[in-house]
Chains A and B, each alone.
Chain A
Amino acid sequence: MSILIGSDTRVLVQGMTGNEGQFHARQMRDYGTQIVAGVTPGKGGQDIDGIPIFDTVSEGVKQTDANASIIFVPPAFSADAILEAADAGIKLIVCLTEGIPVNDMLVVRKHLDSTGVRLVGPNTPGLISPGKCKLGVMAGYIHKPGHIGIISRSGTLTYEVVHQLTSLGIGQSTCVGIGGDPIIGLTFSDLLCMFEADADTHGMILIGEIGGSAEENAARIIAESITKPVVAFIAGQTAPPGRRMGHAGAIVSGGSGTAAAKIEELRSAGVTVAESPAHIGRKMDEILSN
């Protein structure tokens, strides 16, 4: 078992004829993901390694029964790409794009709330259920099938944590990058509940960072309704206020969004918080060995 994606996920790639879309479509297919369609307006009728390209998402869905989409299009067109996928009936949309204007995302997110569509990202490396399906740009080989769910606002820091777990012999059920933007689709709280309900997931690792209040909300959900062990790390303990640390969402403003406040709330919800990023895997190992 896993959450959101598995071996039956049928993926449509929006922006598949671009450099990145093409490269990563092949990488995902080589990992074992079923890539069934690509979409690029004006390139319908072509194919890439036998994967058919369509002009519109709705046509692609009709012809191939795709049930998930991954978006590799420039920031100016990404909000529209998400809406197009939702309109075509896709229920899981992964948007990798970094740099979508926040005002555009406010409208998109509000619309998705009423459709039951699940959006991962934007500004995410995507998600992976090791051994089954890779819907993103992460290096597949560092993962190992297993029972720990990972939820993260960051990309390479997630790879670091996966690597620590795999080196310790601990596998992962699903690893989800929720994205580094201020307005995103699925949140820590949504995914914690999905992992809680997944019989094959035995514990979760939450990788947060400064800015916003997603980690504080997660702490509330954990205290109320999560019974599985949770290990957390909050990046940016040493970040100065008022400076954006790379991600659009990672900024401490007006005293809110500090790492210290997030760590305190997570601890009081019973979460094991690693202070050093070198110890995240080890903390989970200690919990599992007890």
Chain B
Amino acid sequence: MRIHEYQAKALFAKYGIPISASNTVSTVNEAIAAADALGYPVVIKAQIHAGGRGKGGGIQLAANTSEVQEAARRMLGMNLRTPQTGPAGRTVRLLLIEPAANIAQELYLGMTIDRCNRAITVMASSCGGVDIEETASSNPEAILKETVDPFLGLRPFQAFRLAHRLGLPFKTARGVAKSIQSLYRLFCEQDCVLAEINPLAITSEGEPLAIDAKLNLDDSGLFRHPELRELRDLNEEDPLEIEATAANLNYIKLDGNVGCLVNGAGLAMATMDLIKHVGASPANFLDVGGGATSDMIEKGVQILINDPDVRAVFINIFGGILRCDVLAEGVVAAANKLRISVPVIVRLEGTNVDQGRRILNESGLSFLTAADLGEAATMVAKAVGVIS
């Protein structure tokens, strides 16, 4: 789960990671009042779940009240497009306002689960700022790393060594090491999978200051942190995805026109690949999971039909725990309730497949049934007109 910068900074404050005083606002008047109280110059930052905000016009410096007014007016409600939002962009509803810091140097600090080493890896670089992804690919040596032993945790010497290798003077290095350890404690205690401070500024007084804050939480760890669940911002998610989550379905909107409903994440991805392989394009990823009920299937079909981009529906089920007859009942129920005006291609295999096929055949509805994946792919391609 992703959270906003201002939410991450509130957690930073709890763990003693230095941040500026700040305020979040949702109106122009609140923005002016906040900036006046904090003192000028201030930085105004759009709160959306995507990086690269500066490049899209989502971060602005303001020297006085009228500049704040102008910036807040421009940003609130704007559709902010950054390299990470995709072409659709995100609507800005909240702004974070904080005093502009006195920055002498910009560092990068990050932590993530390193799957190769099966450990948390702490990363730091003296090349902080906007283009860390660029640095990571063009000059990987500029990113310094420490691997954390899961039994020992991040040791103080490792945090100091990292800060020292950044070439910082002793007192500053000690301050940065302390921030690294605080971030590590936050990372573990709050079940994060990614934490980044980019940039971690060194002020002209030689003190560290987190200018930005990014935390991604482990969805599987949220049961331990009910208070973190509250930080979810539904505005940042696709409405169809929210509807799917509520029905216990795993749905991701994509930009093609073949809606697909599949059981199992791997088979769902493979089904998308199959669609692409015949020249068509998937409208979504939808995994109904192993234990789907016919109600969940019905809901899934409804979500696909409600997507205006969908021109054909492809249902691909390999019954294991999810039985084909249960699937078929759900599909028939959905088709009877909804007016489905696009072709529906169904491919069933596995547990109770004969019963499932019979339910579809006897429903009196016109499904296209495919015997195997290859035939299904051809039917899908024909349905959306990529082959005739």
Contact = CB atoms under 8 A, between A and B. Distances in A.
Contact of B350 (A139, A154, A279): A139
A220 B96 CA distance: 48
A278 B268 CA distance: 13
Nearest to A109: B118
Interface stretch (A36-44, A190-198, A205-213, A264-272): A205-213
B220 interface: yes
Interface in A239-284: 239-240, 242-243, 245-250, 254-255, 275-279
A5 to B, nearest CB: 19
Interface stretch (B11-19, B69-77, B272-280): B272-280
B151 A245 contact: no
B285 A246 contact: yes
A34 B262 CA distance: 33
Interface string B112-144: 010110111000000000000100110000000
A102 B218 contact: yes
Given A182-B113, A246-B265, A125 B150 contact: no
Contacts of B119: 106, 110
A276 B277 contact: yes
A288 interface: no
A239 B276 contact: no
Contacts of B137: 255
A184 B182 CA distance: 28
Q: For this complex, into which size category does the number of interface residues on chain A fall? A: 35 or more
A14 interface: no
A33 interface: no
A160 B133 contact: no
Contact of B265 (A101, A233, A247): A247
B266 A102 contact: no
A160 B318 contact: yes
A252 B29 CA distance: 41
Which secondary structure dominates where chain B touches chain A? Answer: mixed
Contact of B266 (A154, A240, A255, A278): A154
Given A139-B351, A180-B265, A245-B269, A106 B218 contact: no
Given A75-B220, A156-B267, A209-B269, A107 B118 contact: no
26 contacts: A99-B219, A101-B221, A102-B191, A106-B120, A110-B150, A125-B320, A137-B320, A154-B266, A155-B320, A160-B270, A182-B113, A214-B115, A237-B276, A238-B269, A238-B281, A239-B272, A243-B252, A245-B269, A246-B269, A250-B265, A250-B269, A255-B133, A275-B273, A277-B267, A278-B274, A278-B372
Interface of A: 75-76, 99-103, 106-107, 109-111, 125, 137-139, 142, 152-160, 163, 180, 182-183, 207, 209-210, 212-214, 217, 233, 235-240, 242-243, 245-250, 254-255, 275-279
8 cross-chain pairs, A with B, having the tightest CB-CB distances, nearest first: A154-B266, A246-B265, A156-B264, A157-B266, A278-B373, A235-B269, A277-B270, A101-B221
Given A157-B267, A245-B268, 7 more contacts: A99-B219, A101-B191, A157-B269, A209-B266, A276-B273, A277-B274, A278-B374
